[in-house]
Amino acid sequence: MMEGVKGRRVLVAVDVSEQSMHALKWAVDNLQLSSADTLILCHAKRLPAAYEGLGGPGFLLTPEVSLSLEKYVDRIAEDVMNKAREICSGSQVKVEEEIVKGDARESLCEAVQKFEADFLVIGSHGYGTIKRSFLGSVSDYCAHHAKCPVLIVKKPHHH
Amino acid sequence: MMEGVKGRRVLVAVDVSEQSMHALKWAVDNLQLSSADTLILCHAKRLPAAYEGLGGPGFLLTPEVSLSLEKYVDRIAEDVMNKAREICSGSQVKVEEEIVKGDARESLCEAVQKFEADFLVIGSHGYGTIKRSFLGSVSDYCAHHAKCPVLIVKKPHHH
């Protein structure tokens, strides 16, 4: 069926957003991924914005708080991967998982190179709210900086 | 081979740039398009920037000049379509062609709706020169405004 076709390596950014899961589902449904292809689920775990920088110079975080925050982001990562795995379960594609730490924008671009991805699939948050315009910039950034083609999937408004 | 899979409608923006031809080639090579799928080659023809607005209110263009300009953009459109057709010739995908008039950004987004495209493939010009940053905005605009997922293909620097 896939004769002569080199397996594709598709990296999909997954996070807590509905948009990222929609993008993953879209990729599974539309890219005709087969067992020759590899889907790399990549999640960038990051402390909630309110805690950003707390561990930096000039700040002190008690080990207890620090540990509880780490557990929190770990649990989110686990939830995200579970959901993502479920979406892929109908497909024959090989699935790999990668959890990275830090800013999604840079982490995703780095992961593209590390995994030699043929393309990056990323959800976009459309427009309308501050949150969406903030998160949308991840896809903008990757479209410009990732060293591979980038597929930006918007979740239709009527869903 | 494609049982149960609805044919995909992939719209590819084509213009005089190497980047757009690279994007088209990438799509043909990587999207595993079959005879069930349709590739819509869309070219937005437009007068050279220096002539923009010449036909507008307050300007007069002699019929001769106007005609010669139209022939010029028509010839470009023909060249672009010839090249694009050649790139597709190795694939079994059904090819349709659409030449529209006007700004590429809006024309492409309109064509997405007219042709009910499942996704839009568009080249991007990377960074470094004024020209590239200007042309790059077509892909940015479409990534945000097209009513379908958008695949942005950058031409690698080393080519």
Higher pLDDT, A138 or B42: B42
* CA–CA min distance A52, chain B (Å): 28
Answer whether residue A156 shows pLDDT above 80: no
Question: Which residue is closest to B156 within chain A, CA to CA?
Answer: A147
pTM (global) more than 0.90: no
Q: How confident is the model over B2-7, as a mean pLDDT?
A: 61
Contacts of B23 in chain A (CB under 8 A): 149
What residues 115-154 of chain A have any CB closer than 8 A to a CB of chain B? 118-119, 124, 127, 139-140, 143-144, 147-154
What is the DSSP code string of A29-77? HHS---TTSEEEEEEEE---GGGTTTTSTT----HHHHHHHHHHHHHHH
Contact between A29 and B118 (Cβ < 8 Å): no
pLDDT at residue number B13:
95
Question: Which residue is closest to A120 within chain B, CA to CA?
Answer: B151
Element of type H or E holding B64: helix B63-88
Q: Which residues contact B91 (CB under 8 A, 6 or more apart)?
A: B28, B33, B39
**In this structure, how many other beta carbons lie within 10 angstroms of the beta carbon of residue B84?**
24
CB pairs under 8 A between A and B: 56
Question: Which residue is closest to A8 within chain B, CA to CA?
Answer: B30
Answer whether residue A4 shows pLDDT above 60: no
Contacts of B124 in chain A (CB under 8 A): 143-144
Instruction: Test A8 with B26 for CB contact under 8 angstroms.
Output: no
Q: How confident is the model over A12-22, as a mean pLDDT?
A: 92
The Cα B115–Cα B35 span in angstroms is: 17
Q: Does residue B90 sit at the A interface (CB-CB below 8 Å)?
A: no
Q: How confident is the model over A120-129, as a mean pLDDT?
A: 72
In b/e form, how buried is each residue of A40-59, taking b as 16+ CB within 10 angstroms?
bbbbbbbbeeebeeeeeeee
Q: Does residue B26 sit at the A interface (CB-CB below 8 Å)?
A: yes
pLDDT at residue number A2:
44
pLDDT at residue number B2:
44
Q: How confident is the model over B6-25, as a mean pLDDT?
A: 92
pLDDT at residue number B1:
43
Question: Which residue is closest to B151 within chain A, CA to CA?
Answer: A151
Which of A3, A11, A30, A122 is the best mutation test for B, with the most CBs of B within 10 A?
A30
Answer whether residue B125 shows pLDDT above 70: no
Q: How confident is the model over B35-42, as a mean pLDDT?
A: 96
Q: Phi/psi zone of residue B143: left (φ > 0), alpha (ψ -120 to 50 degrees), beta?
A: alpha
Instruction: Test A124 with B139 for CB contact under 8 angstroms.
Output: no
Q: Which two tokens stand for residue B78?
A: 């023909």
Interface ipTM > 0.95: no
pLDDT at residue number A48:
61
pLDDT at residue number A66:
75
* CA–CA min distance A98, chain B (Å): 23
* CA–CA min distance B148, chain A (Å): 7
